Amino acid sequence: SRKKVIVKNLNSIQNLGGVDILCTDKTGTLTDGSFNVVAIHPQAGIDPDRLLSIAAHAEAYSNHPIALSVKQAYSGPIDQQRIDDVQEQSGHGVRAKIDEHVVLVGNDKLMSECGVGCHECELTGTILHVSLDGEYIGHIVIADVVKPDAAEAVAALRAAGVKKTVMLTGDRADVAAAVAKELGIDEFRAQLLPQDKVAEVEKLLEETHAHGSGKGKLAFVGDGINDAPVLTRADIGIAMGAMGSDAAIEAADVVLMDDDPRKIAKAIKISRKCLRIVYQNTWFAIGIKLGCLLLGALGIANMWLAIFADVGVMVLAVLNAIRALFVKNL
């Protein structure tokens, strides 16, 4: 708690100390979630301001960071009376009626499902495609900023003994690849829906149990409401508390109160030291008591030795446990 890491129960301490594979979301976890519109690419004959206006009106009721960035980039007022029948499709985008016209704003999966042809963009970033009455009218390029301490956090995880890091994201493969390369993440899975993330975590859990000793644990780090199922499914769920959704914080076993990803490695170090102290105290207490029992059976033990085996061992165990408050390199 002093390090702004909240661990909810003893099992979480034990699991955290045995993390071999760490899976992480991208947006809001490795990146700061502050999306910015960096380019607007309309189709021929479409005004860029009109494209942005349509997208901003469609996203008017969404609190997703991407939607907020689109609304922020649009300088004009949003007339909610023009908007009707808004439907958010998790991991895909938004469908809405604007001035009685059907508008789709989302990724290429949404366009494909609705039979709208779209084309890719050469710029690296999140691509928000827009269609009007089934006709593709252009796309908006949105970029997210990697947290300045994210690369250091990944290196610290490796130094702490985590064998593999995996990034799970709903973003495009090229964006995921660029972030993974920049941060030194071992593997990534892109364009995943919330249920796809659960499936990927289950595959990694099977891999861990099949090739490991069974003691290795899998942790998942996320912050969004869509991450709650994955946080529950992993051996240990870690939520980014300051920016994270209430659902993610509730589902997680560990909460990072200041959204600093470096705290993950610190929490692992603290938990491993706590476990070492627990084992030291357990074996020390058992050893002393068995020794006193043996001496008592031989008629050598006296009352003072019995007091030491009881109260003395307890005092030494408490003093040893105090070492858990002091962990190096924090």
Q: Two tokens at 240?
A: 């980014």
Distance in angstroms (rounded) separating the CA atoms of residues 231 and 162:
18
Distance in angstroms (rounded) separating the CA atoms of residues 16 and 269:
9
Say how many C-beta atoms besides its own lie within 10 A of residue 193's C-beta. Answer: 15
Q: Answer for the pair 55, 39: CB distance below 8 angstroms, yes or no.
A: no
User: What's the pLDDT score for residue 280?
Assistant: 93
Q: Two tokens at 58?
A: 């469609």
Most confident of 270-274, 297-301, 323-327: 270-274
User: What is the per-residue burial (b if ≥16 Cβ within 10 Å, else e) of 11-31?
Assistant: ebbebbbbbbbbbbbbbbbbb
Residue 281 reports pLDDT greater than 90:
yes
Kindly report the average pLDDT of the chain as a whole number: 87
User: What's the pLDDT score for residue 131?
Assistant: 92
Q: Answer for the pair 196, 217: CB distance below 8 angstroms, yes or no.
A: no
Distance in angstroms (rounded) separating the CA atoms of residues 168 and 23:
7
User: What's the pLDDT score for residue 209?
Assistant: 67
Segment 201-219 shows an average pLDDT of: 77
User: What's the pLDDT score for residue 139?
Assistant: 92
The values of phi and psi at residue 318, to 5°, are: -65, -45
pLDDT-wise least confident of 65-69, 150-154, 262-266, 270-274: 65-69
User: What's the pLDDT score for residue 285?
Assistant: 93
User: What's the pLDDT score for residue 244?
Assistant: 64
pLDDT-derived band of residue 252, with 50, 70 and 90 as boundaries? confident
Q: Answer for the pair 223, 239: CB distance below 8 angstroms, yes or no.
A: yes
| Catalytic site positions | 25
Segment 2-20 shows an average pLDDT of: 86
Residue 210 reports pLDDT greater than 70:
no
pLDDT-wise least confident of 53-57, 89-93, 134-138, 308-312: 89-93
Segment 34-52 shows an average pLDDT of: 88
pLDDT-derived band of residue 330, with 50, 70 and 90 as boundaries? low
Residue 132 reports pLDDT greater than 80:
yes
Secondary structure string (H, E, C) spanning the chain: CCCCEEECCHHHHHHHCCEEEEEECCCCCCECCCCEEEEEEECCCCCHHHHHHHHHHHCCCCCCHHHHHHHHHCCCCCCHHHEEEEEEECCCEEEEEECCEEEEEECHHHHHHCCCCCCCCCCCCEEEEEEECCEEEEEEEEECCECCCHHHHHHHHHHCCCCEEEEECCCCHHHHHHHHHHHCCCEEECCCCHHHHHHHHHHHHHHHHHHCCCCCEEEEEECCHHHHHHHHHCCEEEEECCCCCHHHHHHCCEEECCCCCHHHHHHHHHHHHHHHHHHHHHHHHHHHHHHHHHHHHCCCCCHHHHHHHHHHHHHHHHHHHHHHHCCCCC
Q: Are strands 93-98 and 83-89 parallel, antiparallel or unpaired?
A: antiparallel
Residue at 24: amino acid letter: T
Picking from 281, 254, 205, the residue whose alpha carbon sits closest to that of residue 4 is 254
